[in-house]
Chains A and B, each alone.
Chain A
Amino acid sequence: AQSVTQPDIHITVSEGASLELRCNYSYGATPYLFWYVQSPGQGLQLLLKYFSGDTLVQGIKGFEAEFKRSQSSFNLRKPSVHWSDAAEYFCAVDPIKAAGNKLTFGGGTRVLVKP
């Protein structure tokens, strides 16, 4: 079945440590790929996106993501986490890749940052 999966529901990381959030998708063709962040009480903020080209994508707030076709993955990384990165992170896909098409979201990964 077509889906987008975030295997980790919760991740706890120490401030200053690196972070990697996993996202896997199951579609016949590579969809457009997105990462959004939802801070407490806030809406969904776009971190980065991948449509085509360079498989390593840079985003805002020091985040990057790597598209790996062979693994059907689009994992999000940050080399050094700050306390303000505590939030919920959502991977989303657009498999149709047409204007105005819907996004399908993963279940989210909640990141806790320890001092």
Chain B
Amino acid sequence: EPEVTQTPSHQVTQMGQEVILRCVPISNHLYFYWYRQILGQKVEFLVSFYNNEISEKSEIFDDQFSVERPDGSNFTLKIRSTKLEDSAMYFCASSEVPDPDTQYFGPGTRLTVL
């Protein structure tokens, strides 16, 4: 069964460094999302992406964040200058055109900022 994949599974970085989290959505899905879950808190929406542009973004998704679909298969989340409070599990999700409301999630990348 097709699934969303994410790399790396765990990323450790120093505060102020840039990180890029990678996702490969399910092939033929055209809607892409990033969510995050800070330890002990709710899963929170960050951004959605369709047709090579951001559809919606949350207040969390400020100027230090960016997303990109650099090729036909990858979807990336870049955090330009990481802060301690960016430590979280980041989930990528995708959905397809016939059923865009059903999102399928990847296993997540645990980001630890030291």
Contact = CB atoms under 8 A, between A and B. Distances in A.
Nearest to B55: A100
Contacts of A90: 43
Chain A interface size band reads 20 to 34
A102 B103 CA distance: 9
Interface in A35-50: 36, 42-46, 49
B65 interface: no
Interface residues of B, number: 27
Interface string B52-67: 0001101000000000
Residue among A44, A46, A94 facing the most chain B CB atoms (10 A cut-off)? A44
Interface stretch (A19-27, A63-71, A76-84, A104-112): A104-112
B103 A103 contact: yes
A99 interface: yes
Interface of B: 4, 6, 31, 33, 35, 42-45, 48, 50, 55-56, 58, 91, 93, 95, 97, 100-108
Interface of A: 32, 34, 36, 42-46, 49, 51, 90, 92, 94, 97, 99-108
